[in-house]
Amino acid sequence: MNKEQKKNYITEMTTQFENSKAIMVTHYQGLTMAQLDELRSKMREKGIIFKITKNRITKLALEKTKCKDLSNLFTGPTAVAFGEDAIMSARILSKFAKDNVNLKLIGGMMNNEVLDQAGVMNVANLPTLDEARANIVGILNASASKLISILLARSEKMSSLPPEISETKPKE
């Protein structure tokens, strides 16, 4: 890389780090190009950029951003996922890592909070916003339908009382 290319790279990476809400850092040593392309296409479907980095220059870009705490993760063959949804990024990467042992999740950042490897795995297990909304609607729906069935059951019991009970008259 010449000086101009390095400057462009630093500018581009600085912009990516500043504008992304979710950043996941991985080691990819041992993955084939076909596997990397497969992972990139899965990430691209969800609007996530997966980029192989140049560590020394990336650390220079990190110095000027909110993500400077991640610089210790950039050793060895490193790739970064930039996106808006940390849960989706972590989920795709963790699922891919289960199938391909050469991909290792080493950390990341979600909404300005630094995550270690365990943190990234915890985020991967969280429900997405749409899933959480569906769960809440299901809970609310279940409560309402239970209430209605209880009320209907009471009214059915009252309407099906035997005639001798419903027509009781005081004895004279």
CA distance linking residue 8 with residue 21, whole number of Å: 22
Does the pLDDT value for residue 158 go beyond 60? no
- The answer to whether residue 71 scores a pLDDT higher than 90 is no
pLDDT of residue 134: 84
Model confidence at 162, in pLDDT bands (50, 70, 90)? low
What is the arithmetic mean of pLDDT over 142-168?
63
Nearest CA to 29 among 11, 3, 55?
55
Average pLDDT over all residues of the chain: 84
Please tell me the predicted confidence (pLDDT) of residue 66. Answer: 85
Q: According to the 3-state scheme, what is the secondary structure of 82-138?
A: EECCHHHHHHHHHHHHHHCCCCEEEEEEECCEEECHHHHHHHHCCCCHHHHHHHHHH
pLDDT-based confidence at 40, cuts 50/70/90? very high
Output the pLDDT for position 129: 74
pLDDT score recorded for residue 93:
92
Tens of pLDDT along 83-117?
Answer: 998 888 999 999 999 998 999 999 999 888 888 88
**Mean of the pLDDT values across residues 123-148?**
77
Mean pLDDT, residues 49-73:
88
Residue 163: its pLDDT value, please?
56
Counting every residue, how long is the chain?
A: 172
Query: In the chain, where are the structural domains located?
Result: 3-124, 129-166
Does the structural domain 3-124 have CATH classification 3.30.70.1730?
yes
Give the model's pLDDT for residue 171.
56
Q: What pLDDT sits at residue 164?
A: 59
